Amino acid sequence: MLNKKAKQLLLVILLFYALGAEAASANRENVALSQNQIDEYYATGILIIPNFFNKQEIEQVSLCANRLQMEADKLSQEQTGKVMHKGTQFVIDKKNNKLQIHRIVWVGSAEPQLLKLGRQLKILVPVGQLLGSTEADHLINQLHFKLPNDEVKFDWHQDIKNRRNFDPNWQDVNQKGSFVQTIIAIDPMTEKNGAIYYVPKSHTRGDLFLDKITDAEELKKIGELDKAIPLLLNPGDIVFMHPYLIHGSQPNESSMSRRAFINGFSYPGANKQPYPGEGSAQRIVLQ
């Protein structure tokens, strides 16, 4: 038999766990997408939520990005191309003696705060809803820098191309693309500083193998690129993007940086290959 003190202690422990579980489920409810938002994502291929990261979170991402930019600059004095450093991959170049950062891959290894920020419940729960899964492989934890006049651009593509390039046996396991890309603006994204352009509803046309098209006119026709519109974002805004949505971006010809924090998650079993970066492509729980 338990004495009075032991019973009281047991009661306190039970209460503690009950309140904890309630708080956790309340959190999930607070951050879940509405059915309208899920419908919008599947109807247009894109869902934009303004002010998703608060000022403090954006400040944290920005400070990490500044440190990584300095690392990239230092590394580029010695070597260019794909450079592994502190478990993070720097894809860097020099053009007219100026640094070009094409991307910094798996940034959370060199800057662990970026992994934490990219794995917040408020990102994972919506991703779980869009994938229809309670687990995912965290494939992308990345920064894109478009520094003034650095000539960095991203050709028209569907993200499914990148998934196929990593794993030729990539499988659309959930029949809904099996991948969700999230893009958070660190700086304003405007038509002048190399905004991403996308073709609304293009995801409904499936994998168009745009990477196999070499003729610019044919690409324009097949991709229906004349329908493309700019993604205009403020710092902290997030975009959830379907893996078949056609998008790309032109160089930043303004005097203002255009940086973005990107996290991508795949449905379990879709990807079977490793990704660059220490700790990448891990299976994580989404709730």
Ligand X SMILES: O=C(O)CCC(=O)C(=O)O
Q: Hey, how many other C-beta atoms are within 10 angstroms of the C-beta on 161?
A: 17
Task: Measure the CA–CA gap between 218 and 54, rounded to whole angstroms.
Answer: 42
Number of other CB atoms surrounding residue 36 within 10 Å: 9
DSSP state of 53: S
Given a contact cutoff of 8 angstroms between Cβ atoms, the answer to whether 173 and 268 are in contact is yes
Q: Cβ of residue 58: shortest distance to ligand X, in angstroms? A: 16
- Nearer to ligand X by Cβ, of 74 and 198: the residue is 198
Tell me how far apart the alpha carbons of residues 64 and 116 are, in angstroms, rounded to a whole number: 12
Shortest distance, position 73 Cβ to ligand X, whole Å: 20
Query: In whole angstroms, how close is the CB of 61 to ligand X at the nearest point?
Result: 14
Q: Confirm if 65 and 262 have CB atoms less than 8 A apart.
A: no
Minimum distance from CB of 17 to ligand X (Å)? 40
Q: Which is nearer to ligand X, 124 or 195 (CB)?
A: 195
Three-state secondary structure call for residue 114: helix
**CA 32, CA 205: separation in Å to the nearest integer?**
28
Q: How many helices and strands (H and E) does the chain possess? A: 8, 13
Give contact residues for ligand X (rule: CB under 6 A). 144, 154, 159, 181, 183, 196, 247, 249, 260, 262
Closer to ligand X at the Cβ: 32 or 91?
Answer: 91
Tell me whether residue 74 or residue 192 sits nearer to ligand X (CB atom).
192
Nearest CB to ligand X, comparing residues 124 and 140: 140
Name the minimum Å distance from CB 224 to ligand X.
17
